[in-house]
């Protein structure tokens, strides 16, 4: 795990989700998941969109041409732990596809327009949207 992620996780947990620096004011949550190849349990800070009480994480990778590794982890092991603003809960990660994704993407980019630029930079990779549904 990067030093930056470790610092974000520590600050997030110490302040019930409030962050400073470049992430101040951003919607961030923590997802604890199992590695698809290694089986190692990791915690990853992720940006999210609140879809009527259900968090949706977006795998933009800042516009990278490949999916972030955590996407493969959630696909392989969808049962995760989520920390959101001081609350913790178990969730099932479900990738949104088809017409449901199209409708959700429209709502996401209305609130997070920077994702349009990320999508354009991917070289054709479709940014996955993954709902973290409370168990």
SS3 assignment for the chain? CCHHHHHHHHHHHHCCCCCCHHHCCCCEEEEEEECCCCCCEEEEEEEEEEECCEEEEECCHHHCCCCCHHHHHHHHCCEEEEEECCEEEEEEEEECCHHHHHHHHHHHHHHCCHHHHHHHHCCCCCCCEEEEEEC
pLDDT digits (tens, 9 = 90+) for 43-59: 999 999 999 999 999 99
Domains of the chain and any CATH numbers:
3-134 (2.30.110.10)
Query: Residues 5-32: pLDDT tens digits?
Result: 999 999 999 999 999 999 999 999 999 9
pTM of the model: 0.95
| Alpha-carbon span 112 to 127, nearest angstrom | 13
The pLDDT value recorded for residue 2 is: 78
Q: pLDDT at position 1, please?
A: 63
């Amino acid at each position: 795990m990067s030093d930056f992620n470790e610092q974000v996780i520590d600050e997030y947990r110490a302040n019930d989700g409030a962050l400073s620096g470049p992430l101040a004011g951003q919607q961030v949550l923590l997802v604890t998941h199992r590695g698809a190849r290694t089986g190692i349990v990791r915690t990853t800070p992720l940006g999210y969109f609140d879809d009527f009480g259900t968090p949706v994480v977006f795998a933009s990778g800042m516009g990278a041409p490949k999916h972030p590794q955590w996407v493969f982890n959630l696909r392989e092991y969808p049962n995760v732990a989520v920390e959101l603003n001081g609350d913790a809960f178990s969730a099932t990660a479900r990738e949104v596809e088809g017409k449901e994704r199209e409708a959700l993407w429209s709502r996401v980019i209305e609130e997070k327009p920077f994702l349009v630029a990320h999508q354009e930079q991917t070289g054709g990779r479709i940014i996955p949207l993954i709902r973290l549904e409370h168990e």
